[in-house]
A = this chain, B = another copy of it.
Amino acid sequence: MRRTGPKTLAPALEALEQRFGRLDAIKKRIANHHIETPSWAYGDSGTRFGVFKQAGVPRNTFEKMEDAGAVHKFTGVASSVAIHIPWDKVDDFSALSEYAQEQGVRIGAINPNVFQDQAYKLGSLTNEDPSIRQKALDHILDCIEIGKTVDSKLLSLWFADGTNYPGQGDFRRRKQYLLENLTTVYKALPADMRMLLEYKFFEPAWYHTDLADWGMSYAFCRHLGEQAQVLVDLGHHPLATNIEHIVAFLIDEGKLGGFHLNDKKYADDDVSVASFNPYQMFLIYNELAAAEDDPAAQDNIAYMIDQSHNIKPKIEEMIQSVVACQVQYAKALLVDRAALTEAQKNGDVVRAEEILKEAYQTDVSPLLAQVRMEMGVDPDPIIAFRESGYSEKVARERQGEGAVTPGG
């Protein structure tokens, strides 16, 4: 990890301008590309085999807001924080909201948790027991109220519902329970709140997940209405899925609500963004940047990180992930779209691919450093964070049990 060389920054930027033209618009888009971080990623987390404890992890939601504030301070673009209920349940959400603002951030998406309570062993909104379905429904409706209190515009729904064994559940009956209950939730949404409906290919249910793929979430969103959109978690697909294609498809349908950003090798690893295949992240951003350029395309897409780093220090990895998003977004903005379209129309496969590769192979570090300096942020976020002494400070101050994030 090297400090950005002030001597080399200017010539590097000049070289970029020479190749790609004036960078002003691109710099503005990078500065405006906000990425939400999740409160739960600041707590201790692990795998089913155990949780490794870190020094200084937050002991409560207020301290999580402090850490999120630190990530925002060192990146300049992580201005909101998703919360998870009941993990982040506090007595006074207005006070939480104010405390967050004092840390420089605001509360973003509200994530109801209907998987952890013992009642949900065999499902929440899909449970055969009507009282358990009602319990889950009530919790989600409560979360909408919390959302109103903290002025959130996003209700982000993920269900662990599914079965472990053939025969355990009736697929169609469970689907009908789910639709019935989500319809009730949908009707309770205020007009400016969107429902994001996440899907997941497997885990924690091994045999089937009630919302197993984007198609299922999409079908539900079509039944529910315009305020319901699909949430794409990058780790929730079968291996070899072309995620950028799904993203483009959903944009074309006006049904892409947002992202849970992370990376995976085999399962839902929830590791740092772009850890294993940064080119895939670039190709996803390539679709998003292209849609931004297209006035006919949908634009209100939420970018939210969802990770559970059980090895790296929490804040450092969050900074790494925010930066990893910026790197690929910046590269996507460098793609010469007119030339790409021309190559596609001409059937020049080699040239079309080379146009993407040229953008991808460009080193955008100087560009990002420049954007940060113009925003008043240190050009080297991780180094600056390490130098700040924040980690040492909270390790000293936060004695006692840190928060543990199940599933995180």
Judged by a CB distance under 8 angstroms, whether A149 is at the interface is no
Residues from chain B with a CB closer than 8 A to the CB of A253 are: 219
Judged by a CB distance under 8 angstroms, whether A303 is at the interface is no
Given A267-B202, A341-B170: A8 touches B15 (CB 8 Å cut-off): yes
Q: Are A240 and B238 within 8 A (Cβ)? A: yes
Binary contact readout A273-310 vs B (1 if CB under 8 angstroms, 0 otherwise): 00111111001000100100000010000000000111
Which A residues between 218 and 255 are near B, CB-CB below 8 angstroms?
Answer: 218-219, 222, 238-242, 244-245, 248-249, 251-253
Judged by a CB distance under 8 angstroms, whether A201 is at the interface is yes
Q: Are B8 and A248 within 8 A (Cβ)? A: no
A: number of interface residues (CB 8 Å) = 115
Stretch among A57-65, A346-354, A369-377 lining the B interface: A346-354
Q: Are B240 and A202 within 8 A (Cβ)? A: yes
Least Cβ distance of A304 to chain B in Å? 19
Residues from chain B with a CB closer than 8 A to the CB of A297 are: 172
Judged by a CB distance under 8 angstroms, whether A271 is at the interface is yes
Count of chain copies: 4
Residues of chain A touching chain B, judged by Cβ–Cβ distance below 8 Å, are 1-2, 5, 8, 11-12, 15, 18-19, 46-50, 52-53, 115-116, 118, 121-122, 128-129, 160, 164-173, 175-176, 201-204, 206-208, 212-216, 218-219, 222, 238-242, 244-245, 248-249, 251-253, 264-267, 269, 271-272, 275-280, 283, 287, 290, 297, 308-313, 316-317, 320, 327, 340-341, 343-345, 347, 349-356, 358, 360-365, 382, 406-408
The interface centre, meaning the residue of A166, A287, A327, A363 with most chain B CB atoms within 10 A of its CB, is A166
Given A49-B115, A169-B344, A266-B267: A350 touches B313 (CB 8 Å cut-off): yes
- For the complex, give the distance between the alpha carbons of A397 and B308 in Å: 39
Residues from chain B with a CB closer than 8 A to the CB of A176 are: 252
Q: Give 17 A-B contacts (CB < 8 Å), ordered by A residue.
A: A11-B11, A48-B48, A48-B308, A129-B347, A164-B312, A165-B353, A166-B275, A175-B248, A176-B252, A202-B240, A206-B266, A218-B219, A219-B253, A238-B238, A239-B239, A277-B279, A350-B382
Q: Are B49 and A47 within 8 A (Cβ)? A: no
The interface centre, meaning the residue of A1, A169, A310, A353 with most chain B CB atoms within 10 A of its CB, is A353
Kindly identify which residue among B169, B202, B311 contacts A165, using a CB–CB cutoff of 8 Å.
B311
Q: Are A350 and B47 within 8 A (Cβ)? A: no
Q: Are B350 and A312 within 8 A (Cβ)? A: yes
Q: Are A49 and B311 within 8 A (Cβ)? A: no
Residues from chain B with a CB closer than 8 A to the CB of A238 are: 238-241
The interface centre, meaning the residue of A167, A202, A244, A269 with most chain B CB atoms within 10 A of its CB, is A167
Residue ID in chain B nearest A123 by CB atoms = B347
- For the complex, give the distance between the alpha carbons of A311 and B207 in Å: 12
Residue ID in chain B nearest A217 by CB atoms = B215
Residues from chain B with a CB closer than 8 A to the CB of A275 are: 165-166, 207, 353
Q: Are B215 and A216 within 8 A (Cβ)? A: yes
Given A11-B11, A11-B15: A164 touches B361 (CB 8 Å cut-off): no
Residue ID in chain B nearest A327 by CB atoms = B361
Closest 7 CB pairs of A and B: A215-B215, A238-B238, A171-B248, A49-B407, A47-B204, A206-B269, A167-B352
Residues from chain B with a CB closer than 8 A to the CB of A251 are: 172
